[in-house]
Every structure is written in structure tokens, then in C-alpha cells.
Amino acid sequence: MEPWKLEPARDTGLTPSERFRSVRRESGLLESLAHHVCFSMLRSYFAIAHRLTIIGREKLPAHGPFVLAANHCSHLDALALGAALTPRHRERAFPIAAGDVFFQSGVTSTFSAIMLNALPMWRKNCGPHPLADLRRKLQEEKAIFIIFPEGGRSRIGSMMPFKHGLGMLIAETNLPVVPCGLVGTFEALPPDRKLPRPVAIKLVIGAALQFASTANDRTGWSQIAATVESCVRDLVAQSRTA
Amino acid sequence: MNPIARERLFGFRHAFDDRVTVVLALTVLILFLLAPLLIFVVTRAANSSSDKRKELWDRYRSWIWLALFILIPILAGAFWTILGVATLSFLCYREYARITGLFRERTISLIVVIGILFITFAALDNWYRLFVALFPLTVALIATGGLIPDQPKGYIQRVGLGVLGFALFGSALGNLGYMANDWNYRPILLLIIFAVEMNDIFAYICGHLFGHRKFVPNTSPNKTVGGALGAIVLTTPLFALGAHFVWFGTALDTPVCLLGLGVIVSVVGQFGDLMLSSIKRDLGLKDTAKLIPGHGGILDRFDSLILVAPAVFHYVNYFVGFAAGQPQRIFSGWGI
């Protein structure tokens, strides 16, 4: 018989507000229920209000760890990608959200953590440590990250160049990156609007990419960013014509 | 609903009918009024560091909240008392599941939560047979639920942890909720909680005053034989005196029985404390959570109560029983 393996929650010893903002957070029974309810409701919302069509869902790996990388021009993007995941995926799916928008106040961080299962990414003075924590979480907890490598919402709807962060998460690993192209979210909810318009949204999921042999350094990260960016650009173009 | 049951469940107008309730509530109030003065004098005299002083004030402030969370439901009615105990059970189980890693076993955790919900219903309903049946039934369900992932590796661990969790926080703590079916539940519960918390404080003070020989240095290095004995000597008469008024004129109201109950509260309370120390030391943790400033987690604060609840329940049940003359199966019986 193997000895017992008792592993306390990784967030043990954090106060509730620290925990909501922490990358070490692990959901319990009630929080998992909240994510499920939230994403089920979002799924219905997108189906009814935006007639969400998903092309290539069969290309999603059966289980984590993997990374969904998409273009970003609206707050609806992360929600649409979350809604596209199967219930089996949702348990471990974490949208990576801007810390300065979603985790600034107690109310927003509680909502982002409990309802969306989001993890904060601090855009200023972030440094390598938070990314190293995220990289560890991705591998050890078989997580699914929803990432927007542009580093923010495009204000005009067209894609911005991808940043290095994605590369820092997955270079020299076997973790699949699934490129996704989203169309319609900018028209539905551009950054200057408060409430969404019922515009049709399309999501095209591409074939998974792997970067096991790409070096975990600046050149490697640029290479990863460029490869994924061109894939996403193709998917966006494809979904506009489809 | 039966008027007697409704009166007990929601009848807050009779909150202060019993003099033991009044005395205990006043004692708590006086302690809270005196404590700031005491903290001020002690920290001045000992020239304590600002960290130590801050910790004492944190503890004091947290105690006020805890006292309100305990007093208000008990005074408001048996319904709120039982819900309060259920909340305590859930919070304790949550902390236990998170520190042992059991929370990752969703099926087992869900079964324990459902078990606690049923225990709460049995207590609210005053349905003793269901209450008693729930322990073996939930254990059977946990053993079955452990099969669902179809992974024999780790089966004993997840089922074992689940059973221990339900036994301690569902079943054992549930006894505290079931006591609220007694017509005189307010002084009973207040007395038990007051005595258990005082027992902790007595052990701490006596340990500082006469503690030389370590008690169980591997489990809890700060515990001393002097502290443990001092707590027994002080808590036993305190509890026996209160119990004399609470169970006045019953079969329990003899000096031997009352002192026996007092010793049980003190000794078992300290065992509960050591039990949690062992769990934490086994896991290499200092506190179970960081929820209550100055105290740690809910479990750190209420550890002594967990084992006392079933011990007192069955001791009293042997002599006089709970819920005499109260209508049974209030909700499920359809007026039986």
C-alpha cells in the first residue's frame, strides 16, 4: 500500500480577499457549482442573444492542461470562450483577466473569482514571477487557461500584435495551445459601450499547436507569439468569410 | 405547526425566561466590558511589543463577533440555533476538507454535505430515529461514493477522510443542534459553550502560572500538565453548578452525576483541542485557515466543542434525555 498523500489546498493560509486574488486559489464545492451555473447561463445567453456558432469544437483536447489563445476586442470574448467549453472542461478552466480591471476592488475580485473562476494578470510591474506561478499551475493542476495574448482589448476591433506572455507559459512544454478566432464580439460590445447588442457571434477553433522544442527565451517567445498570432489571424479571416 | 413546537423554534419572547441564561449572558457582557481594561493593564505591565498588543486586540474584537454569532441564534429560537450549528458544521468541514485535500474528491464532499443537511433536518424535525440512522447510512453512502471514480488507488484515503469528516463535523457537532429540541435548550447550550471556552482559557492561564511539566510535547508543545489539571479543577465545579440549575430536580441532579458531567466537559474539551493539534501537526500547518483575525480558522476556535457535543448529549440522554414532552417529527409527521 502506498502511504497517504495529504495535500492541503494550495491557498491554505491566505485570507479570503488574498485568496480571491491569488493564482494559488483552488475552488471548493460551492465555487465549482457557481462556475457551472454561471457558464451554463452564459451558454444559454450566447445561444439566444448572439446565436453563437462554434466551428471546430472537436479540435479541443479532451481534458486539460491546454491553453485557449484568442483575439481580444470585447469583454464578451472570455465569456464566449468559457461558454464554448464542455461542462467537463469548466471545472479547470481559468480565464486570465487583467488584474487592474477585474481584481482591483473587493466586490469585483469576489465576483471574478467565484462566478468566472478568473485569475489575475497584473499588467504593470508584472515581472516573471506571476507568469512562473501560472506556468506551474497550468502543468500541475491540469488547468485550462483562456488567454488573450494581445494584452488588452483592441479599441478599434482589429487585432494587435501578440505579446511574449503566452510563450513564457508554454515554451519547452508539451502543452497544446488551441488558437481561436472570434468574430462579432466587437460589434456586440465594443469597449465604449456598457450593454451588449444582439449581434451574431462566431467562434472558430483551430488545430492545437505545440512548442516543446521552442526555447524558453526571448527569441522562443517571439516565435511562439508570431506563430499563434498568424494562426488566429487566419481563423478570424476564415470566420468572417464562413 | 404544533404551537409548542412553534414556540420553541421561533419564540424569542421567552429568551430570558431561565435565570441561567440571564446569568450567563450577563457574565459574558461583563467579561467583554472588563477585558479592554485587563488587556490595557497587562500589556502596560508586561511592556508588550506592539505586535503582541495588536494580536490581543484582534482576538478581543473577533470574540465580540463570535459571541454575537453564538448568542443571537440561541436567544432567537431553536430554529435559528439549529441553523447556526449547521453553519458551524459546514464551515468546520470546509476547513477540514481543504487542509486534508479531501475537497478535491467532489463526490465524497458532496455526500458529506448532504449528510450534514439531513442531520440538520432531523434535528429541526425532532426525528430522533432518523438522526441516529444518519451516521451508519452516510458512512455507507461515503463508502459507495468512493467507488464512483473507479480508481481503487487512494480509495481507503478518500473514504477514510470522508468518514472522519462526517463523524466529527456532521454527526458529533450535530448533537449540539439536536439539543435544541429540549424545551430548556437555551441555558443548556449556552452553558456548554461557555464552559468549553472557559476551559480553554483556564488551561491557558493555569499553564502559564503552574505549568512546568510538558503534557504531550510532540502534539502540542505549549500544553502542560499543570494547565490541564488546573482546567479540570476550575471547569468541573463551574459546569456542575450551572448544570444543577439547568437540570434541577431531575435524575441528573445529584452531586456525583453533575461533577461527572463537569469532568467530561473539561477532559473531552481538552482532547478535542489535542485532536485538532494532531491533525494540524500531521499536515505541518499552524492554523486551519486565516478567517478570524487573532484566532486562525473556525476550526481552530471551535475544536474543543466537537467531541464535547456527543459526550454531553449521551451522558444527559442516559439520565434524563432531551426533548421530553416536545412534539416529534414536526415537519415530516404531517401532524402525527
Tell me which chain A residue has its CA closest to the CA of residue B112. Answer: A29
- Mean pLDDT for chain A overall: 90
Distance CA A221, CA A169 (A): 9
Chain A neighbors of B101, CB-CB under 8 A: 5-9
Q: Beta strand pairing status for A119-121 and A202-205? A: unpaired
Is the pLDDT confidence value at B104 over 60?
A: yes
Contacts across the A-B interface (CB distance below 8 Å):
48
Is the pLDDT confidence value at B324 over 80?
A: yes
Tell me if A117 is assigned to some domain. Answer: yes
Is the pLDDT confidence value at B97 over 70?
A: yes
What percentage of chain B reaches a pLDDT higher than 90? Answer: 81
CB of B109 less than 8 A from some CB of A: yes
Residue B227 binned pLDDT confidence (cut-offs 50, 70, 90): very high
In this structure, what are the phi and psi dihedrals at residue A180, rounded to the nearest 5 degrees?
-135, 140
Is the pLDDT confidence value at B259 over 60?
A: yes
Q: How close B328 gets to chain A, by Cα (Å)?
A: 32
> Which runs of consecutive H residues, i.e. helices, occur in chain A?
16-21, 29-49, 76-84, 87-90, 99-102, 106-114, 128-140, 165-170, 185-188, 218-241
Is the pLDDT confidence value at A145 over 90?
A: yes
Contact criterion met (CB < 8 Å) for A8 and B100: yes
- Position B309 scores a pLDDT of 97
Tell me if A179 is assigned to some domain. Answer: yes
SS3 state of residue A98: strand
Tell me if A17 is assigned to some domain. Answer: no
- Position B335 scores a pLDDT of 53
Mutate to test the interface with A, among B90, B151, B157 (most CBs of A within 10 A): B157
Given the C-alpha cell 441555558, which residue does it identify? B187
What range does the domain containing A107 cover?
A: 27-241
Tell me which chain A residue has its CA closest to the CA of residue B155. Answer: A4
Contact criterion met (CB < 8 Å) for B285 and A28: no
CB of A128 less than 8 A from some CB of B: no
Contact criterion met (CB < 8 Å) for B101 and A2: no
How does pLDDT run across B114-131, given as a tens digit for each residue?
999 999 999 999 999 999
- Mean pLDDT for chain B overall: 94
Contact status, residue B239 vs residue B195, Cβ threshold 8 Å? yes
Chain A neighbors of B156, CB-CB under 8 A: 1
Tell me which chain A residue has its CA closest to the CA of residue B152. Answer: A1
CATH label of the domain that carries residue A116: 3.40.1130.10
Domain positions in chain B: 3-319
Is the pLDDT confidence value at B240 over 90?
A: yes
Q: How close A19 gets to chain B, by Cα (Å)?
A: 10
How does pLDDT run across A84-122, given as a tens digit for each residue?
898 888 888 999 998 888 888 889 999 999 999 999 888
Given the C-alpha cell 494584452, which residue does it identify? A151
Q: How close A93 gets to chain B, by Cα (Å)?
A: 15
Is the pLDDT confidence value at A44 over 80?
A: yes
Q: What ipTM was estimated for this complex?
A: 0.86
How does pLDDT run across B274-284, given as a tens digit for each residue?
999 999 999 99
- Position A127 scores a pLDDT of 63
Give me the mean pLDDT over the B53-77 stretch.
93
Chain A neighbors of B99, CB-CB under 8 A: 8-9, 12
Residue A133 binned pLDDT confidence (cut-offs 50, 70, 90): confident
Distance CA A145, CA B8 (A): 52
Gyration radius of chain B's alpha carbons: 21
Lowest-pLDDT range of A52-56, A85-89, A193-197: A85-89
Chain B neighbors of A2, CB-CB under 8 A: 153
Residue B46 binned pLDDT confidence (cut-offs 50, 70, 90): confident
Tell me which chain A residue has its CA closest to the CA of residue B107. Answer: A29
Tell me which chain B residue has its CA closest to the CA of residue A1. Answer: B153
Chain B neighbors of A5, CB-CB under 8 A: 101, 154, 157
Contact criterion met (CB < 8 Å) for A29 and B282: no
CB of B155 less than 8 A from some CB of A: no
What percentage of chain A reaches a pLDDT higher than 70? Answer: 98
Is the pLDDT confidence value at A124 over 80?
A: no
Give me the mean pLDDT over the B17-42 stretch.
93
Give me the mean pLDDT over the B16-44 stretch.
92
Chain B neighbors of A14, CB-CB under 8 A: 290
SS3 state of residue A53: strand
Contact criterion met (CB < 8 Å) for B285 and A32: no
Helix (H) or strand (E) holding B196: helix B185-210
- Position B1 scores a pLDDT of 80
CB of B36 less than 8 A from some CB of A: no
Lowest-pLDDT range of A75-89, A125-139, B279-293: A125-139
Contact criterion met (CB < 8 Å) for B99 and A12: yes
CA proximity to A77, closest of A63, A59, A95:
A95
- Position A126 scores a pLDDT of 62
CB of B129 less than 8 A from some CB of A: no
CB of A12 less than 8 A from some CB of B: yes
CB of A32 less than 8 A from some CB of B: yes
CB of B8 less than 8 A from some CB of A: no
Q: How close A3 gets to chain B, by Cα (Å)?
A: 9
CA proximity to A179, closest of A97, A86, A93, A69:
A69
Give me the mean pLDDT over the B224-248 stretch.
96
Contact status, residue B15 vs residue B186, Cβ threshold 8 Å? yes
**Into how many domains does chain A fold?**
1
Count CB-CB contacts under 10 A for residue B263. Answer: 15
Helix (H) or strand (E) holding B239: helix B225-246
Is the pLDDT confidence value at A59 over 60?
A: yes
Lowest-pLDDT range of A149-158, A191-200, B46-55, B72-81: B46-55
Chain B neighbors of A16, CB-CB under 8 A: 291
Lowest-pLDDT range of A217-221, A227-231, B124-128, B321-325: B321-325
CB of B55 less than 8 A from some CB of A: no
Burial of B268: CB neighbours in 10 Å, binned 0-12, 13-18, 19+: buried
Q: How close B280 gets to chain A, by Cα (Å)?
A: 10
- The model carries a pTM of 0.92
Tell me if A5 is assigned to some domain. Answer: no
Is the pLDDT confidence value at A195 over 60?
A: yes
Residue A184 binned pLDDT confidence (cut-offs 50, 70, 90): very high
AA letter at B270: Q
Tell me if A196 is assigned to some domain. Answer: yes
CB of A9 less than 8 A from some CB of B: yes
CB of A14 less than 8 A from some CB of B: yes
- Position A128 scores a pLDDT of 66
Buried b (16+ CB within 10 A) or exposed e, A164-195: bbbbbbbbebebbbbbbbbbbbbbbbbeeeee
Lowest-pLDDT range of A126-135, B89-98, B291-300: A126-135
